A = this chain, B = another copy of it.
């Protein structure tokens, strides 16, 4: 038996002296040529995205970089920071709060849209009927459709922007269409809307970009880590240790609205 037969395999990155190759590309050749967003797609899926896909990914990550102080991942990271933790420990605690009920809607949304597509294939392509069937089944099981509705936003500005960009870039495909049809089905005859939220929009886009649902939530997680770092740093530099981190009674005192130069 050869020596290699006992080695375990990894297809991500090969490291040799003075030579680092990620998914087949030399890392120093990637630097300066691809954006971080493109490199994220490469490292996660194994293939380099086109520049247009890169632009859409940039928008996806920007959309979810922060959502104020009230998400549980932020409150957790701040509370841990407040006890004197290191930056990485506070961020890790915040990531532990990204679960089914917070940040988990991307994966579940992807599963829903993939399921509807499969049902539509079996129904001769009728996606509206497929969406109806899937939603009826979920309702019967007492489940809510992930990716629709928001505690605060009735018309999430990020959703419209993401789908608008996808249209412009020619990247809105079958799953964006299914997401929109599902929104219509959810509104029903009454017309009372349960609008697609940002997680649902990202879910549809990731399906169109061939990203497996198993790593859908990772896109939210990767997007939010910088926000967690910002909150931990603000907590450590601006607040007293061991304060009570109230989940609601905070106020924004940053810069007023300004335009991008």
In the complex the two chains form, is A18's CB within 8 Å of B96's CB?
A: no
Complex CA–CA separation, A238 to B240 (angstroms): 32
Tell me how many residues of A have a C-beta within 8 Å of chain B. Answer: 130
> A165 contacts which of B32, B92, B230 (Cβ < 8 Å)?
B32
**Residue A157 lies at the interface, judged by CB distance under 8 Å to chain B:** yes
> A44 contacts which of B215, B226, B251 (Cβ < 8 Å)?
B226
Query: Least Cβ distance of A160 to chain B in Å?
Result: 7
In the complex the two chains form, is A37's CB within 8 Å of B35's CB?
A: yes
> A43 contacts which of B66, B99, B255 (Cβ < 8 Å)?
B66
In the complex the two chains form, is B258's CB within 8 Å of A248's CB?
A: no
In the complex the two chains form, is B249's CB within 8 Å of A6's CB?
A: yes
Known: A35-B58, A44-B233, A61-B39. A11 touches B254 (CB 8 A): yes
Query: Least Cβ distance of A131 to chain B in Å?
Result: 25
In the complex the two chains form, is B214's CB within 8 Å of A237's CB?
A: yes
Q: Which of A19-27, A120-128, A171-179 contacts the other chain?
A: A19-27
A-B contact pairs, 16 of them (CB 8 A): A9-B250, A9-B252, A12-B66, A12-B69, A17-B153, A18-B156, A19-B157, A21-B252, A28-B63, A37-B37, A44-B229, A84-B104, A88-B98, A92-B93, A102-B242, A218-B233
